[in-house]
């Protein structure tokens, strides 16, 4: 079955830039979505259709695509950004899949 | 304000059944798809399926085919997830979430608070 691969963990200091990647063979042809999930809470949509931000999501969250990899960038990381970040996309049949998640630790 | 409110924590024994509800408010419930997502303890998210409350059209993830049933009652703005013959491996948090196709494509823009299900003898 189709998989989206994410690095399990990323650590950055406050104010630095965090980059979280998600890889999948179908990503060149399918939109990617990103979610933030803080401990004990439901996910929150951060990015839709590869690089669009829903209203209310800070500008420090952005995303880009390059071939089979999509990247979520968090500029000027804040302590409150410590969370799990998950990507979502679809395989060639349109079945949705989530990545395994990346735990962002703010040092 | 748009909300999805799910039913409360469930503790069940193996072999039992349960039905989780997800009630929408603040928008026209029957014109947006509702998805169900499972999160097993300490794990990531897994998409289970989606339902369109307007006509109860459904799409199930091939990974879960036959393991659960989705339904909706548009008269009370509520979607349901029914799990039967529960096993310990069904222990998870189950989320409902809205899809706003016109705005966010296939992204889930609004989430319920999650329903914790524990299956244990």
State how beta strands A102-106 and A83-90 pair: antiparallel
> If pLDDT is split at 50, 70 and 90, which confidence band does B102 have?
confident
pLDDT confidence of residue B103: 87
pLDDT confidence of residue B66: 78
* Residues in chain A closer than 8 A to B34 (CB atoms): none
Residue B13: is its pLDDT beyond 80?
yes
pLDDT confidence of residue A4: 96
State how beta strands B3-6 and B18-25 pair: antiparallel
Evaluate whether B19 touches B80 at the Cβ level (below 8 Å): yes
- Which segment of A93-102, B2-11, B71-80 scores lowest on mean pLDDT? A93-102
pLDDT confidence of residue B64: 84
Region B25-30: mean pLDDT is 96
- Tell me what percent of the residues of chain A surpass a pLDDT of 70: 100
Inter-chain contact A35–B108, Cβ cutoff 8 Å? yes
Which structure tokens are listed for A106? Answer: 């703010």
How distant is the Cα of A34 from the closest Cα of chain B, in angstroms? 8
* Residues in chain A closer than 8 A to B97 (CB atoms): 43
User: Among all residues of chain B, which has the CA nearest to that of A101?
Assistant: B44
Cβ pairs A/B, distance under 8 A = 64
> If pLDDT is split at 50, 70 and 90, which confidence band does B65 have?
confident
In chain A, which residues touch B (CB < 8 A)?
1, 31, 33, 35, 37, 42-45, 48-49, 52, 54, 84, 86, 88, 90, 95-101
pLDDT confidence of residue A91: 87
Residue with the larger pLDDT of the pair B62 and A17? A17
- Order of all β-strands in the sheet with A18-23: A5-6, A18-23, A69-74, A61-66
Burial bucket for residue B35 (CB in 10 Å: 0-12, 13-18, 19+): buried
Neighbours of B45 (CB within 10 A): 25
Region B99-116: mean pLDDT is 94
In chain B, which residues touch A (CB < 8 A)?
37, 44-47, 61-63, 95, 97, 103-109, 111-114
Inter-chain contact A35–B62, Cβ cutoff 8 Å? no
pLDDT confidence of residue B21: 98
Region A56-62: mean pLDDT is 97
């Amino acid at each position: 079955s189709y998989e989206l691969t994410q690095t399990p963990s990323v650590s950055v200091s406050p104010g630095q830039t965090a980059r979280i990647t998600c890889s999948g063979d179908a990503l060149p042809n399918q939109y990617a979505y990103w979610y933030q999930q803080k401990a004990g809470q439901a996910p929150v949509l951060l990015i839709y259709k590869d690089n669009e931000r829903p209203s209310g999501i800070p500008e420090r969250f952005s995303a880009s695509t390059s071939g089979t990899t999509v990247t979520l960038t968090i500029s000027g990381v804040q302590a409150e950004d410590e969370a799990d970040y998950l990507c979502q996309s679809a395989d060639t049949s349109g079945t949705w899949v989530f990545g395994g998640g990346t735990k962002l630790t703010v040092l | 304000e748009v909300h999805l409110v799910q039913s409360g924590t469930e503790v069940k024994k193996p072999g039992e059944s349960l039905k989780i509800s997800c009630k929408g408010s603040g928008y026209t419930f029957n014109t947006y798809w509702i998805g169900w997502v499972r999160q097993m303890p300490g794990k990531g998210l897994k998409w289970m399926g989606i339902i369109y409350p307007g006509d109860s059209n459904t799409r199930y993830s091939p990974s879960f085919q036959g393991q659960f049933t989705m339904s909706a009652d548009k008269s009370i703005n509520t979607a349901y997830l029914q799990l039967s013959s529960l096993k310990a491996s069904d222990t998870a948090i189950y989320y409902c979430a809205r899809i706003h196709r016109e705005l966010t494509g296939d992204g889930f823009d609004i989430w319920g608070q999650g329903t914790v299900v524990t299956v244990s003898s």
